[in-house]
């Protein structure tokens, strides 16, 4: 069926949602093509797409289809299936959560729906606490306001790993008529999530605290209009921190009106926080993304706020944990991903901990936390995209935990006369100057998707003319050239190159956005040498891409 036939099928539906119908009637031919030429792809990370009418847009009908397919899977996991449903501040998030609950209830699945927006890590915790069969989080994380998304969780509170997600995808793809999915049966199967779970979640976060020192730092916090506002200020204040919030960004605004970027990886996300921090002389700035699984920090150093990367924050937090955990159990693990810094891994090994690299996506760290429950101890997990986890009572990255431990580290090191930047440079002096970078090449639409495929095919099938390459790891083909390493991870469309000076770069298409991500990492004797080397590799890789 071509895009015009699919468009006609939608426009001819009786009782079509009025907003959907109005949008369809206004579409140009090109808009019809973009909205219907493809079907919204449900990947291993769920769905994330532009809001609107059509099979390649996110709307109530696509949400119903995903929910029905996931519901079929949930029913196979339990005789009495149940699911927790949470949502963020985005356009239609609450409506999509309601539609999901109605589909589940009509299928005989008990649905626990949060009464108001809640962070992604809370959803993970609530699934475990309520012994639910699974969970759904309605969010598009840090994407722009045009997007929303749908993430699914198993009974461990972990996003489904590929082998399980493939089972769900097969069921979603088997849904033939999305307009016939029932949403009006068994309303008694829809319930709420009690306030007791809120308190238990906050207690769990507060329990990761390692020290009970007097609090001598000032904190500026922003949720960037998202879900972090529900818990972060309250948790920090309960533990005695002086917290000043960016009040205009505490508003749950789906248009993100006060920020040019709702992603704490971007400097612009801190504009308002920096202004406020200078006014109140804050020691540290904290920013969460809208669903509050990521944390960006900017500690004060020599009179200026220094924005740290996710890798740098992880190294500092790990140093703090290693220095302040009274007894580290045997067989304790630090987990990281193949696109993250090598530095925390080296720190963990030097301190006698075990380490393991997994594919990109915190679900793989959550999976490992479950796998080692009987034989090892989860100590710390992180990924470069500003996400970490201290307590594995949550099985996804948790910015509430990260916010607390970052403040505790800042307070502790201040008592020693150090800033977090001082601590970072101490780490560099001990282990070498490890710095990382990322290049995001945005390629939208059908042409963009084809361009990304062409780039990956070129690197996969050709010898790359960059001096110093000693090995190539292709996680899709599961092959390694130039070394004896074996890939024991699931297949993934990722290519990694290792250079002779411990530098590396990775190409990976985003699973949630129309972009090609290129990750870089280097190690050198000084920061200047590391910065220059990183730029050299970045320039060489981009020159090749620009010629494809």
Rounded distance, CA 52 to CA 60, Å?
9
Rounded distance, CA 490 to CA 272, Å?
41
Confidence of residue 233 (pLDDT cuts 50, 70, 90): very high
DSSP state letters, 393-448: TSSS--HHHHHHHHHHHHHHHHHTT--HHHHHHHHHHHH-EEEEEEEEEE--HHHH
Does 391 qualify as catalytic in the annotation? no
Is the model's pLDDT at 44 over the cut of 80? Answer: no
In this structure, the number of other CB atoms found within 10 A of the CB of residue 430 comes to 11
Displacement of CA 175 from its chain's centroid (Å): 28
Q: Percent of the chain scored above 90 by pLDDT? A: 95
Sequence-distant contacts of 320-326: CB under 8 A, at least 24 apart: 320/210, 320/405, 320/408, 320/409, 320/412, 320/413, 320/423, 321/210, 321/379, 321/380, 321/390, 321/405, 322/347, 322/351, 324/210, 324/211, 324/412, 325/210, 325/379
User: Stretch 267-288: mean pLDDT, rounded?
Assistant: 98
Position 265 scores a pLDDT of 94
Candidate list 141, 229, 492, 503, residue with the active-site label: 141
Whole-prediction pTM: 0.95
Is the model's pLDDT at 423 over the cut of 80? Answer: yes
- Contact call for residues 126 and 178 (beta carbons, < 8 A): no
Confidence of residue 513 (pLDDT cuts 50, 70, 90): confident
Task: From 296, 258, 205, 252, select the one nearest 88 (Cα to Cα).
Answer: 252
Position 243 scores a pLDDT of 98
Position 18 scores a pLDDT of 96
Helix then strand then coil, in percent of the chain rounded to 5, is 40, 20, 40
Displacement of CA 111 from its chain's centroid (Å): 24
Confidence of residue 514 (pLDDT cuts 50, 70, 90): confident
Position 502 scores a pLDDT of 94
In this structure, the number of other CB atoms found within 10 A of the CB of residue 75 comes to 17
Which domains can be identified in the chain, with CATH numbers?
Answer: 3-193 (3.40.120.10), 201-431 (3.40.120.10), 433-546 (3.30.310.50)
Mean pLDDT of all residues belonging to the chain: 96
Q: 224-256 burial, b for 16+ CB within 10 Å, e for fewer?
A: bbbbbbbbbbebbeebebebbbbeebbebbbeb
Rounded distance, CA 299 to CA 282, Å?
8
Alpha-carbon dihedral sign for residues 391, 397, 399, 400: negative
Position 45 scores a pLDDT of 78
Helix and strand counts by DSSP (H, E) for the chain: 17, 21
The residue behind tokens 């993970």 is 124
Rounded distance, CA 399 to CA 389, Å?
8
User: Stretch 324-328: mean pLDDT, rounded?
Assistant: 97
């Amino acid at each position: 069926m071509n895009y015009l036939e699919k468009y006609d099928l939608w426009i001819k539906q009786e009782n079509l949602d009025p907003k959907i119908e109005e949008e369809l009637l206004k579409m140009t031919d090109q808009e019809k093509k973009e909205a219907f030429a493809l079907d919204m792809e449900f990947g291993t990370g769920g769905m994330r797409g532009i809001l609107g009418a059509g099979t390649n847009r996110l709307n109530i009908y696509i949400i119903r289809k995903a929910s029905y397919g996931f519901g079929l899977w949930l029913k196979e996991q339990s005789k009495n299936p149940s699911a927790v449903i949470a949502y963020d501040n985005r356009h239609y998030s609450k409506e999509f959560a309601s539609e999901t609950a109605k589909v589940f209830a009509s299928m005989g699945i008990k649905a626990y729906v949060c009464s108001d927006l809640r962070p992604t890590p809370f959803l993970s915790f609530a699934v475990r606490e309520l012994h639910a069969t699974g969970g759904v989080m309605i969010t598009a994380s840090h994407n722009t306001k045009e997007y929303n998304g749908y993430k699914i969780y198993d009974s461990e509170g972990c996003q489904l790993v590929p082998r399980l997600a493939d089972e769900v995808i097969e069921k979603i793809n088997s849904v033939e008529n999305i307009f016939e999915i029932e949403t009006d049966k068994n309303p008694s199967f829809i319930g709420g999530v009690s306030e007791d779970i809120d308190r238990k979640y906050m207690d769990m976060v507060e329990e990761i605290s390692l020290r009970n020192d007097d609090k001598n730092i000032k904190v500026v916090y922003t949720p960037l209009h998202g879900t972090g506002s529900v818990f972060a200020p309250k948790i920090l204040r309960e533990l005695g921190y002086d917290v000043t919030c960016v009040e205009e960004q505490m508003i749950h605004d789906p248009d993100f009106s006060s920020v040019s970027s709702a992603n704490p990886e971007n400097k612009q996300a801190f504009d308002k926080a920096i202004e406020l921090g200078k006014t109140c002389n804050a020691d540290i700035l904290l920013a969460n993304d809208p669903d509050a699984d990521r944390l960006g920090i900017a500690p004060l150093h020599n009179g200026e706020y220094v924005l740290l990367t996710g890798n740098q924050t992880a190294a500092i937090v790990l140093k703090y944990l290693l220095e302040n955990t009274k007894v580290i159990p045997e067989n304790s693990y630090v987990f990281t991903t193949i696109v993250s810094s090598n530095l925390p891994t080296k720190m963990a090994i030097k301190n006698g901990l075990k380490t393991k690299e997994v594919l990109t996506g915190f679900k793989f760290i959550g999976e490992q936390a479950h796998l080692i429950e009987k034989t090892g101890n989860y100590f710390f997990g992180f990924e470069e995209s500003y996400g970490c986890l201290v307590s594995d009572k949550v099985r996804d990255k948790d910015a509430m935990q990260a916010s607390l431990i970052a403040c505790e580290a800042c307070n502790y090191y201040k008592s020693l006369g150090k800033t977090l930047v001082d601590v970072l440079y101490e780490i560099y002096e001990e282990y070498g100057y490890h710095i990382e970078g990322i290049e995001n090449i945005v390629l939208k639409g059908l042409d963009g998707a084809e361009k990304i495929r062409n780039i990956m095919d070129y690197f996969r099938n050709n010898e790359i003319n960059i001096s110093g390459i000693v090995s190539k790891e292709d996680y899709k083909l599961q092959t390694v050239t130039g070394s004896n390493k074996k890939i024991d991870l699931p297949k993934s469309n990722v290519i990694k190159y290792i250079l002779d000076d411990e530098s590396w770069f990775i190409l990976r298409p985003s699973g949630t956005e129309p972009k090609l991500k290129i990750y870089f990492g280097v190690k050198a004797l000084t920061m200047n040498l590391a910065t220059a080397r990183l730029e050299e590799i970045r320039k060489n890789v981009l020159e090749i891409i620009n010629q494809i």
